[in-house]
């Protein structure tokens, strides 16, 4: 499979994850939250939409051998909790790890991938997954 179209790989803005920053305590949140769970009322009106860098490291991971039908072709696959550089932890599938040398602390980067394509109208859904950062 020819992986993702070039457009998605080469347009950096497509890699951006949008999160929220609480300007009261400085914590970042992803997915976005309307209210900071730490500051509560103090954060009202102080939540700012920010781009997250999309880089982080593996906090923990699970090797999934029995998946849902729609991703059955990819199994076994790895689902990890990724700790983003800004602090939030997100759960996502890890891709591009043929060797599956994922470990706690492995640096990863968010990447947008086609998740599904619906019917004749061809509505395509994209979502984020994480891939190991290749060492040069
Ligand atoms: Zn806060």
17 burial type by CB count under 10 A (0-12 exposed, 13-18 middle, 19+ buried): buried
Residue 36 has pLDDT above 90, yes or no: yes
Q: How far, in Å, from the CA of 81 to the mean position of ligand 1? A: 22
At 67-84, the pLDDT tens digits run 555 555 555 678 899 999
Average pLDDT, the chain: 79
Helix (H, G, I), strand (E, B) or coil at 25: coil
Q: Decide which of 66 and 78 is more confident.
A: 78
Q: How far, in Å, from the CA of 17 to the mean position of ligand 1? A: 19
Q: How far, in Å, from the CA of 31 to the mean position of ligand 1? A: 15
Mean pLDDT, rounded, for 7-25:
69
Number of neighbouring beta carbons within 10 Å of residue 48: 11
End-to-end CA distance of the chain: 24
Q: How far, in Å, from the CA of 56 to the mean position of ligand 1? A: 21
The C-alpha atoms of residue 98 and residue 3 are separated, in whole angstroms, by: 13
The C-alpha atoms of residue 75 and residue 23 are separated, in whole angstroms, by: 41
Q: How far, in Å, from the CA of 30 to the mean position of ligand 1? A: 13
Mean pLDDT, rounded, for 102-128:
77
pLDDT value at residue 13: 45
Band of the pLDDT at 22, cuts 50, 70, 90? Answer: very high
Residue 18 has pLDDT above 90, yes or no: no
Domains with residue ranges and CATH for the chain: 1-16+53-136 (2.40.50.840), 18-51 (no CATH)
Q: How far, in Å, from the CA of 3 to the mean position of ligand 1? A: 39
**88-99: b (≥16 Cβ within 10 Å) or e:** bebebbbbebee
The C-alpha atoms of residue 61 and residue 108 are separated, in whole angstroms, by: 12
């Amino acid at each position: 499979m020819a992986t993702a179209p070039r457009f998605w790989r080469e347009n950096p803005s497509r890699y951006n994850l949008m999160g929220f920053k609480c300007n009261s305590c400085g914590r970042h949140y992803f997915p976005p939250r309307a209210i900071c769970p730490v500051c509560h009322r103090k954060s009202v009106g102080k939540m700012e939409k920010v781009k997250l860098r999309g880089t982080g490291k593996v906090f923990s991971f699970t090797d999934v051998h029995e998946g849902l039908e729609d991703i059955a072709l990819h199994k076994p696959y790895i689902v990890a909790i990724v700790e983003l550089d800004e602090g939030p932890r997100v759960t996502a599938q890890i891709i591009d790890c043929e060797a599956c040398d994922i470990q706690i602390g492995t640096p990863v980067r968010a990447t947008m991938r086609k998740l599904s394509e619906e019917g004749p109208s061809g509505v395509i859904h994209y979502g984020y997954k994480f891939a190991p950062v290749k060492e040069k």
